[in-house]
Structure 1
Amino acid sequence: MIKEVQEQIAYYNARSQEYDEWFYRIGRYDRGLEQNQRWFDEVDILKSALQNIGKVNSILELACGTGIWTQELLKLGARITAIDAFAEMIAINKKKLNDTKIFDYQQVDLFSWQPTTQYDLVFFSFWLSHVSPAQVDEFLTKVYRAVRPDGKVFIIDSCFDATSTAKDHFFENEKAIYQRRKLNNGQEYQIYKIYYQPNVLLDKLTQVGFQASVKQTNNYFIYAEGMKL
């Protein structure tokens, strides 16, 4: 495994107990009432777009993390398979949700993951941007294989905005593929972080076979929906 991937894995393993602070705008991520509200308003756009998919039977969530989006998927799916590389993330997810609709938790390294089942919906959030450019096409091909015919993929990720991250993170180049990240204890890591433009993400999804659409919110998020015909 290449050094950059190893360091990224170490970062997210160490970050598991403080991951929710980012999403819920707590501590170093608190940008004040106005900017926080802008963030949550745009989150609501994502939630609405996801719920518009409607009820499905089976869902695969890749990089399920602490359950922030797993709890939204519970409103859609009869059965959910939730995959993450980190036991700590899965433990938080289980404790937070404790729902029998979650058919199966699997601790799997997504860089070596191979689909063995097809699902009505494959979902992942804030993960594609952490896949190296050299691996992203292969990863999306595997996602395509995991979606049943007439099934869908739904992807959420980040737009480049300085206020989306911690106040002690400083990012100036949205075309760079690496970022330095700090934990609350000050420890630093270098990770992959690729900011996709809508046309680029659309092209990648189309190339692997999806009929797709890609949208952005005003500031923080990019999201895509694709159907496997």
Structure 2
Amino acid sequence: MMDETGNPSVIEEQMAYYRARAAEYDEWFYRQGRYDRGEENNARWFAAAEAVREALFAGGQVHSVVELACGTGIWTQELAQLAQQVTALDASPEMLKINQTKVAAENVTYQQVNLFEWEPTQTYDMLFASFWLSHVPPERLSAHLEAMSRALVPDGRLFLVDSLKTPTSTAVDHVIPEASTTLTRKLNDGRTYQIVKVFYEAEGLKAALEAAGFVAQVYQAGDFFWYVDAVRR
């Protein structure tokens, strides 16, 4: 994937970033190292995450779920309790290896997939994605949501969770630009990468979901997360 100048695209650089970041990714979610913002802020973070978890489980058990961008297994381990069968997809073999070791559940199967080229080959009762949609460029959003719709049975459930534009959600040495769909991310060793990061607004996201065939509600969890609970029409 190259841009018009022949240089690696931001999507290709983003994929390289998450491969390189795999071993330190959990520091972000568990508020460690550069992501530790103090006891009070961290407590609000974990309370918001628990609110999302409760909303996820409130929908009840399902037979099959596909998880996009499963990462290190933070949410895969929850889905393994919620569904009889979990299919976990990610582009990074490093992420998949950590996930498989962490989750170690017989009802989870893994596939290495470039999600920008993903086309579902079967349907599921539920599709879940955490902190993935913000890495989809706006010009690709409609097509990606339509692929999600094709992955679900009629009345299948779509559950998405992602980041609000809160400065303390990221590392102390990261800056969130005022108006941009790309930003610079830094690893612990100082290497930097350009990635896609879109802070979708609830109204526009709901409209895009409805255009893709979903009946959707967008919710906010504390200061840090939004989540979508939707049904495929």
- TM score, norm. by length of structure 2: 0.96
Letter in 2 for 1:139: H
What is the distance in 1 between the residues matched to 2:136 and 2:180? 13
Q: Is 1:23 aligned to 2:29, yes or no? A: yes
Q: CA deviation at 1:225?
A: 1.0
Structural mapping, 1:62-211, within 5 Å: 62-102=68-108, 104-173=109-178, 175-211=179-215
Q: Which residue of 1 aligns with 2:230?
A: 226
Runs of 4+ in structure 1 deviating by more than 4 angstroms, as ranges, are none
The alignment covers a number of residue pairs equal to 227
Q: TM-score under structure 1 normalisation?
A: 0.97
Letter in 1 for 2:184: R
1:134 shift after superposition = 1.4
Instruction: Give the conservation status (yes or no) of the 8 Å contact 2:177–2:183.
Output: no
Residue deviations 1:50-74, cap 9 Å, x none?
A: 0011000000001100000001111
Counterpart position of 2:6: none
Letter in 2 for 1:87: P
**Aligned-partner Cα distance in 2 for 1:64–1:101:** 15
- Is the 2:64–2:86 contact (alpha carbons within 8 Å) kept by the matching residues of 1? yes
Residue deviations 1:91-123, cap 9 Å, x none? 000100111111x21001001011011000000
Aligned counterparts of 1:150 and 1:162: Cα–Cα separation in 2 = 36
Distance apart, 1:172 and its partner CA: 3.8
Q: Which amino acid aligns with 2:166?
A: D
* Counterpart secondary structure, 1:134: helix
CA distance in 2, matches of 1:172, 1:82: 31
Pairwise CA RMSD: 0.8
Unpaired runs of 5+ residues, structure 1, are none
Superposition pairs of residues 46-65 of structure 1, within 5 angstroms: 46-65=52-71
Residues of 2 paired with 1:218 and 1:126: CA distance? 16
Gaps of 5+ in 2: 3-8
Once residues 23 and 144 of structure 1 are traced to their aligned partners in structure 2, the CA distance between those partners, rounded to angstroms, is: 28
Q: CA offset at residue 218 of structure 1?
A: 2.7
